[in-house]
Structure 1
Amino acid sequence: MTERLLICTDLDRTLLPNGNAPESAPARALFAALAARPEVLLAYVSGRHKALVEQAIAEYELPRPDFVIGDVGTSIYAITAEGWQEWPQWIAAIAPDWAGREHADMRRMFGHLADLRLQESAKQNRFKLSYYVPIEAGLPRLMAAMRGLLGEQGIRADLIYSVDEAGPIGLLDVLPASATKVHAIEFLMRELGFGIENTVFAGDSGNDLPVLISPIRSVLVANASADVRKEAQELAALRSTSSALYLAKGGFMGMNGNYSAGILEGVAHYLPHTQQWMKIND
């Protein structure tokens, strides 16, 4: 029986060459050749919402994936010839965390907190509540207030904070506690019948760490920052998952290990026979 392979990859600065490091010229075409194989299922894992994932696919001429885990893990779509179909079974899996509440209920709960400003409607969904927060806001006090309200209502939620340097403005997502990249990938693996022996994840940044240090076979592309590389190695060592973390270094097929070149390098590291699949048909 031909071995199946599930490739799950982050987009920005992992598959997409939109960082500061150079891209190896043949890498994306070789990645597309691999993704086109009948044995391979491809899932994009991104904080982007549906429209921004579609924009990235068009702009960078990416292969059409079989699945998209989007909105920071709060949505899973199956992609077919008929279009994008959201997976109701994933919604059913994460909904209990919010104890019967949905987006509008959560928004009302936090409505009196002056530092929170709702992000655009495209960046919201049923189980993702996203705010802008002024950089000068007292973040620890704000987060404590929000966690207090969540605790009172018996709601299991994660508060994910990051900074948009272009703003600069703070970004705060309120998500069901189980709606993370790693939980979504594990859910996809179970639903599709894949194990850790035939699944590979690729990432580049701090928000990929939960997957990178999990038992899921993972590759950190070579353009990842030194800080992320160090933290990933240290945390994987603490968790005894170092054998499931590969740091791309370049040299594979004459490429530099950045972006899609690093993904290919990692896949070949775990599954050497796949190197025969990484060819462009003439």
Structure 2
Amino acid sequence: MSKLAPILLCCDLDRTLIPNGNAEESPEARPRLARFCAHPAVELVFVSGRDLQLVLDGIDEWSLPQPDYIIGDVGTTIYAPRSQAGHGDGDWVHWPAWTDQIAPAWNGLMHDDVTHIFADISAIRPQETVKQGAFKASYYVDRQSNQEVLDAELHGRLWRNGVDARLVWSLDEAADVLLLDVLPTSASKLHAIEFLIQHLSFDESRAIFAGDSGNDLHALGSHINGVLVANADPAVKARARELVRAGALEDTLYLAQGGLFGMNGNYAAGVLEGVVHYLPETREYMTLAQDSCEAPG
């Protein structure tokens, strides 16, 4: 068996690796993922809307493998372990170089300034403090709101204040509520992944991003190999297909169907299925890892 070349596996958390949606999880999916990610060739990156502490809480609560890097706050923060940053073991270090790259889009403004601009709009409600970031203003949105009109009003206010921002819409299916993240235009999950690929001098063809929701669409519709887990909302699947067709990038989107190792394609099972789709040689390593686990001691 040939040596496995380096792989950069970037995964969203909620309803992608973390099975906190309405769909059923294959019981063996997360253990299989953990064994695969233990291979020294695999660099694991969590790419989440959560802040650092909520990511770490999720790792503990759901027994997820330890990542090599964390992209948090919908792409507005990047963290590396202190050991990789030359600071000894334990804890995580924020990369200020990424902040320096995204901050100019907000023209000197930060979270509190942006929320002040929107303070009188009743259709949006600020999310909890723990879900906010220095360059991330997050809101709950009334489902009855006209999203197109609201989007135009928000963009107009930002433009008049010299703020170059990206509005990212998604749906929390469990709570049945629309979510809105206001970010610098230069910040997104995709941009942060690209920054990491460049920083690590990684082979882009062996980088994979897996997600499930609206705030993953920018990356899923891009040149990066993308995986939509089977439990993703049908509307997200349809929009992702539209994006790759528009960019002639059909080869960089895979929709998990289920069937790999008898699993259903939801959550971590879909992530593994996508990895095998893009990198077929990984199937043998996943099988060997499973066999060694099941062998009698």
* Contact 1:13–1:204 (CA under 8 A) maintained in structure 2: yes
Unaligned segments of structure 1, at least 5 residues: none
Please give the residue correspondences for 1:99-138 in structure 2 after superposition, counting only pairs within 5 Å: 99-113=107-121, 117-134=125-142
Counterpart pick for 2:243 among 235, 247, 251: 235
Assess, with a 3 A threshold, how the Cα gap between structure 1 residues 116 and 226 changes in structure 2: closer, same or farther: closer
After the TM superposition, which of the residue ranges 111-120 and 258-267 deviates more from structure 2? 111-120
* Contact 1:24–1:256 (CA under 8 A) maintained in structure 2: yes
Calculate percent identity across the aligned residue pairs: 50
After the TM superposition, which of the residue ranges 51-60 and 39-48 deviates more from structure 2? 51-60
Please give the residue correspondences for 1:17-166 in structure 2 after superposition, counting only pairs within 5 Å: 17-80=19-82, 81-113=89-121, 117-134=125-142, 143-162=151-170
After the TM superposition, which of the residue ranges 73-82 and 33-42 deviates more from structure 2? 73-82
How far off is 1:72 after superposition? 1.4
Assess, with a 3 A threshold, how the Cα gap between structure 1 residues 155 and 197 changes in structure 2: closer, same or farther: same
TM superposition score normalised by structure 2: 0.85
Instruction: State the distance in 1 between where 2:95 and 2:166 align.
Output: 21
* Contact 2:44–2:67 (CA under 8 A) maintained in structure 1: yes
Instruction: State the distance in 2 between where 1:167 and 1:254 align.
Output: 30
Instruction: State the distance in 1 between where 2:265 and 2:228 align.
Output: 9
Instruction: State the distance in 2 between where 1:127 and 1:228 align.
Output: 25
Residue type matched to 2:253 in 1? L
How far off is 1:143 after superposition? 4.3
Counterpart pick for 1:6 among 5, 8, 12: 8
After the TM superposition, which of the residue ranges 237-246 and 15-24 deviates more from structure 2? 15-24
Unaligned segments of structure 2, at least 5 residues: 83-88
Assess, with a 3 A threshold, how the Cα gap between structure 1 residues 99 and 217 changes in structure 2: closer, same or farther: same
Residue type matched to 1:127 in 2? F
Please give the residue correspondences for 1:258-269 in structure 2 after superposition, counting only pairs within 5 Å: 258-269=266-277
How far off is 1:145 after superposition? 4.1
Assess, with a 3 A threshold, how the Cα gap between structure 1 residues 206 and 138 changes in structure 2: closer, same or farther: closer
Assess, with a 3 A threshold, how the Cα gap between structure 1 residues 26 and 132 changes in structure 2: closer, same or farther: closer
Please give the residue correspondences for 1:161-172 in structure 2 after superposition, counting only pairs within 5 Å: 161-162=169-170, 171-172=179-180
Query: What does residue 85 of structure 2 align with?
Result: none
TM superposition score normalised by structure 1: 0.89
2:194 aligned with 1:186, yes or no? yes
Assess, with a 3 A threshold, how the Cα gap between structure 1 residues 63 and 146 changes in structure 2: closer, same or farther: same
Matched residue of 1:17: which SS? coil
2:224 aligned with 1:222, yes or no? no
Instruction: State the distance in 1 between where 2:14 and 2:112 align.
Output: 29
How far off is 1:156 after superposition? 0.4
